[in-house]
Chains A and B, each alone.
Chain A
């Protein structure tokens, strides 16, 4: 009943419903953060899947003997060259290794001072069809010092973790919706009690249940929309400032918070869906209460 313009019940003057928009705003604030979290995690999982997938790293531990190290490297490269399904491979140079280690060891560290392992970055043509077990066995048979670091296992765990966090965020969203419904139900019940006399008169005058429920539903919708907009106004800047701070760190591991049209539409839909949720909850609450009258 969206068409009720004039209200026979003074619901807009109810003191008990004045706090409802703020409770809903708080819920929406949390919902915005949860949804933002879900979007970011989704994007991150996707990016990691594409970025690191399809590669593995072969590591050859350094021995005391530099000549043996050189031999080992050659042996490994031979195995890699003989293996089918490998698109490209690259021995990571010592300068680059030093650059990677610099933040931990400092620039003073000399390459010669450290027994650095050799790293070979291997790109796979088709990750799914690559015979990882056979390749690993072959490699370790020829060079016992060589180990294969498969990113897939590590990545899979990471993606699983992300999905678990996403599920938790979804559960939080469901709880937020339930809490919002509960708040609306209690506010509506209070309204029913406060206006018991007026409702009874309307009922006896011949008002359909839907007429009375419509007045509560209309009011709840307005309050819900109000709360939704307040919550969104507070939640979006919070989310965006987190994104801005993350952006300024320029670390590839941190999530990207640039939203597309779909994401913006999703946020815009929050106040509307909260308003709808409040409206239908109030409506069904009133209808259930009125059914107890003759």
Chain B
């Protein structure tokens, strides 16, 4: 996995028209292979920040660099090339209702001009993996919320993006499904994808313990974890201001925290087994 940063924001400000700034002096760096949660009250600017990240919006000021390219100076025709390295799971899925599950998932490959034979193979494999093999020809409106979510995730990861952004991916599903999704994201992260998940679900954030970017009225504070999940717990603990002393700074603590997190995950995973066929493992696909 090549090191370096996937995204860099420096003093980024965003305002819509002449309105107040919804994002103020946002500065952070997403290292390659990192996993971040993005939290904040509604209206704090989470979606706006994600929109800047997936190149739906231009910042009003400040510098954004994605995959080493300064967005402000990147010529417009090369932006699609950057977008193709970003997978987005939209909050409201944004599936194309007139297209079948298969065609929806195939979209990023077709847009990139991948040969139809390869499209067929990849999409079939991935749909099998997310348990939608029997729904390949179904249209999104005929699918359940959970199924639609899996389609939208499949679409986001089909082109093997370097950066995966998810906006409230757990907003429309029950807790079990939310956790299964998170496990999927973790698998992808393990294989090198940089991941940012915006969520309201603090229980989820706490249970996984990844570094947290927190937006507060447009201002960002990053509780850096550098893959160290205890830092996230620190943040949680300071937030709850119950126990404030324990600083897990040394490696032993880290290892212990990770083991705990893993154990907790295993437990949740067994709890969340439901009627749906369990995915056979992402290794088969990637």
Contact = CB atoms under 8 A, between A and B. Distances in A.
Interface size class of A (residues with CB under 8 A): 10 to 19
B180 interface: no
Contacts of B159: 206
A201 B108 contact: no
A197 interface: yes
Contacts of B88: 204
Given A8-B99, A8-B103, A201-B94, A206 B56 contact: no
A207 interface: yes
A201 B94 CA distance: 7
B55 interface: yes
Interface string B74-111: 00110111111010100000101011000100011011
B58 interface: yes
B54 interface: yes
B112 interface: yes
Contacts, number: 54
Contacts of A197: 94
B108 A13 contact: no
A206 B110 contact: no
Nearest to B81: A206
A207 B86 CA distance: 12
Nearest to B54: A204
Contacts of A208: 77, 80, 111
A201 B56 CA distance: 10
Chain A CB within 10 Å, residue with most, of B80, B83, B99, B112: B80
A202 interface: yes
A202 B94 CA distance: 10
Given A8-B107, A211-B111, A294-B57, A204 B96 contact: no
Interface string B59-83: 0000000000000000011011111
Contacts of B111: 202, 205-208, 211
Contacts of B112: 206
Given A8-B99, A8-B110, A201-B96, A206 B80 contact: yes
A198 B84 CA distance: 16
A10 interface: yes
A205 B108 contact: yes
Interface string A98-132: 00000000000000000000000000000000000
A204 B76 CA distance: 13
A196 to B, nearest CB: 12
From DSSP, what is the main secondary structure of chain A's interface residues? helix
A236 to B, nearest CB: 38
B99 A204 contact: no
A206 B110 CA distance: 10
B99 to A, nearest CB: 7
Nearest to B155: A205
B107 A294 contact: no
B79 to A, nearest CB: 7
Contacts of A203: 83
A212 to B, nearest CB: 9
Contacts of B56: 200, 204, 294
A67 B140 CA distance: 106
A118 B194 CA distance: 106
Nearest to B56: A204
B3 to A, nearest CB: 24
Given A8-B96, A13-B98, 7 more contacts: A6-B110, A8-B107, A10-B98, A198-B98, A205-B83, A208-B80, A291-B76
Interface of B: 54-58, 76-77, 79-84, 86, 88, 94, 96, 98-99, 103, 107-108, 110-112, 155, 159
13 contacts: A8-B99, A8-B107, A198-B98, A201-B107, A202-B111, A204-B55, A205-B84, A205-B111, A206-B80, A206-B111, A208-B77, A209-B77, A294-B58
